[in-house]
């Protein structure tokens, strides 16, 4: 059937979508979410169908195309295209197999991931894949197969250096911006560390959001390779690269129901590491109330699985279980976190010492793994690099190489509007809840408003006097500040005992 194109001026962000009038759909025996092949000359694309009940929205004889489809076939309003029905992808039968407790092979995972990347599956169909892996947990062999499928459907960063270091925290702790301190220490010691990080999904800032306060994080694989070959380190947003590209698409469908299948989480993490050719990896599993992992039993399960899968993938790994019972660092939100990081790297009195200490311990482990320090001497070597100013110099190099300018922490702007939460009595802070602090920071506008967020003046275990500041909320918008304060008043996220 030949139809005229109508530009819908809509970007779906995920699947390739085409909208046809109900009468045209009836002629083709076409139903909602059927696949159609759209051809314009020699260019063609497979899209998922939506049906228009209204002539006003998409008239009979026309086909409404989203931006992604228009781009694929280089089309515009008024162009003629031919459409025909195509069969559903074979990957759907593999998803159904997993839903029925079946075990998937590498080939089956590869086809599913390939279809996710090429937008051949709808969000609903991708969600079924996530649900299948959640309900019927992947075994070790399946986790390895899924990891390899995610790596092999994207580009791989190949470096002329060895070893190639990497680290990952499984998350759940507000702040905890150790990567931006560990990276320059490790790179200054002469080890390669091509770091890809994520933007925020549910937190007030991802590492990429914080780095973006200081430098460009949207680099290509070739730009990344050039920088690492030259100065040993970089920190870029993984979403700007074609490294394990299915990961972000899967995470988007996991988020609404907070699904986090174990096998998929491990594959997600390790695919990114394998795609940058990491040979040595440090995994941080924060444990504690309010963190992603709240029991030692679950933490040990993850530790064992990471070790077993990394062995199969040829990656040397060290897994540490750390304190995740409260936020780490003082700033929560892109600008506030960036300021903390520069204070640590400059050895400034304002630095958050909990963030400094954790970063030094992690950097020390990585220096030992990379043979830049003898066993038991890594912390001392990391401290020497930090206190000498070499880590700050290396971070300045990385920022400059990524198109940024080195600025003093005092020049980083934070929200012009603020609210201080003060102690109502003398006492000791018993607990500061990660989820509550993250919720307040997001309500204030972070991470979209990079200057917004929360600054923590006092941490759990510290004494506080009546009327002394515990946290300050920063915002650039009065209504958002008021909303953040309202949330602070409603939730019991900060506990003080006499």
Mind telling me the catalytic residues? 260
Directed axis angle between helix 179-188 and helix 390-401, to 10°?
A: 100
Greatest C-alpha distance within the chain: 77
CA-to-CA distance for 116 and 12, rounded, in angstroms? 14
Burial profile 428-467: b = 16 or more Cβ within 10 angstroms, e = fewer: ebebbbbebbbbbbbbbbbbebbbbbbbbbbbbeeebeee
CA-to-CA distance for 236 and 228, rounded, in angstroms? 11
CA neighbours within 13 Å on the CB side: how many for 378? Answer: 21
Burial profile 260-276: b = 16 or more Cβ within 10 angstroms, e = fewer: bbbbbbbbbbbbbbbbb
Per DSSP, the residues of 181-230 read HHHHHHHHTT-BEEEEEPPPSSSS--HHHHHTTTS-----HHHHHHHHHH
CA-to-CA distance for 374 and 377, rounded, in angstroms? 5
- Look at the alpha carbons of 250, 255, 260, 266 in this order and tell me if their dihedral is positive or negative: positive
Take residue 280 and report the two structure tokens written for it: 């040595």
β-strands 417-422, 427-432 pairing: unpaired
Take residue 249 and report the two structure tokens written for it: 């698409």
Task: Tell me how far CA of residue 331 lies from CA of 154, 208, 438, 456, in angstroms.
Answer: 35, 15, 11, 6
CB atoms within 10 A of CB 31: 11
Take residue 375 and report the two structure tokens written for it: 């066993």
CA neighbours within 13 Å on the CB side: how many for 187? Answer: 28
Task: Answer yes or no: are the C-beta atoms of 424 and 470 closer than 8 Å.
Answer: no
Task: Tell me how far CA of residue 399 lies from CA of 234, 278, 402, 489, in angstroms.
Answer: 8, 22, 5, 39
DSSP state, residue 238: G
Paired residues of 65 in beta bridges: 7, 18
Task: Answer yes or no: are the C-beta atoms of 257 and 248 closer than 8 Å.
Answer: no
């Amino acid at each position: 059937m030949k139809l005229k194109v109508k530009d819908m001026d809509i970007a779906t962000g995920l699947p390739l979508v085409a909208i046809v009038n109900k009468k045209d759909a009836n002629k083709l025996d076409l139903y909602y979410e059927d696949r159609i092949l759209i051809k314009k000359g020699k260019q063609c694309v497979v899209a998922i169908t939506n049906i228009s009940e209204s002539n006003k929205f998409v008239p009979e004889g026309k086909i409404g195309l989203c931006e992604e489809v228009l781009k694929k076939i280089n089309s515009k309003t008024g162009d003629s295209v031919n459409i025909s029905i195509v069969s559903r992808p074979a990957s759907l039968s593999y998803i159904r197999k997993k839903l029925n407790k079946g075990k998937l092979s590498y080939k089956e995972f590869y086809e599913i991931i390939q279809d996710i990347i090429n937008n051949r599956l709808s969000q609903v169909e991708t969600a079924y894949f996530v649900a299948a892996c959640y309900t019927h947990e992947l075994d070790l062999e399946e986790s390895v197969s899924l990891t390899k499928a995610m790596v092999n459907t994207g580009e791989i960063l190949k470096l002329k250096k060895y070893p190639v270091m990497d680290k990952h925290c499984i998350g759940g702790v507000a702040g905890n911006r150790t990567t931006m301190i560990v990276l320059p220490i490790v790179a200054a010691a002469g080890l390669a560390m091509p770091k890809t990080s994520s933007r925020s999904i549910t937190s007030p800032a991802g590492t990429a959001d914080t780095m973006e306060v200081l430098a460009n994080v949207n680099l290509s694989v070739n730009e990344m390779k050039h920088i690492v070959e030259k100065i040993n380190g970089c920190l870029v947003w993984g979403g700007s690269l074609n490294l394990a590209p299915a990961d972000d698409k899967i995470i988007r469908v996991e988020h609404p129901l907070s699904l986090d299948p174990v096998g998929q989480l491990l594959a997600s993490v390790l695919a990114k590491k394998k795609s940058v050719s990491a040979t040595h990896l440090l995994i941080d599993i924060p444990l504690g109330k309010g963190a992603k992992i709240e029991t030692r039993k679950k933490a040990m399960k993850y530790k064992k699985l990471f070790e077993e899968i990394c062995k199969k993938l040829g990656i040397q790994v060290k897994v540490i279980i750390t304190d995740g019972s409260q936020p780490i660092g003082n700033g929560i939100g892109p600008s506030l976190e960036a300021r903390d990081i520069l204070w640590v790297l400059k050895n400034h009195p304002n630095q958050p010492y909990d963030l400094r200490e954790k970063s030094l311990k992690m950097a020390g482990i990585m220096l030992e793994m990379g043979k830049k320090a003898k066993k038991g001497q890594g912390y001392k070597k990391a401290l020497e690099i930090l206190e000498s100013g070499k880590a700050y110099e290396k971070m300045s190099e990385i920022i400059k190489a990524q198109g940024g300018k080195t600025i003093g922490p005092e020049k980083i702007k934070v929200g012009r509007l603020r609210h201080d939460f003060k102690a109502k009595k003398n006492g000791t802070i018993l607990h500061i809840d990660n989820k509550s602090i993250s919720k307040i920071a997001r309500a204030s506008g972070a991470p979209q408003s990079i200057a917004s967020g929360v600054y923590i003046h006092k941490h759990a275990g510290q004494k506080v006097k009546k009327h002394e500041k515990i946290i300050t909320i920063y915002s650039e918008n009065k209504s958002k500040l008021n909303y953040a304060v309202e949330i602070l008043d409603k939730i019991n996220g900060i506990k003080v005992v006499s």
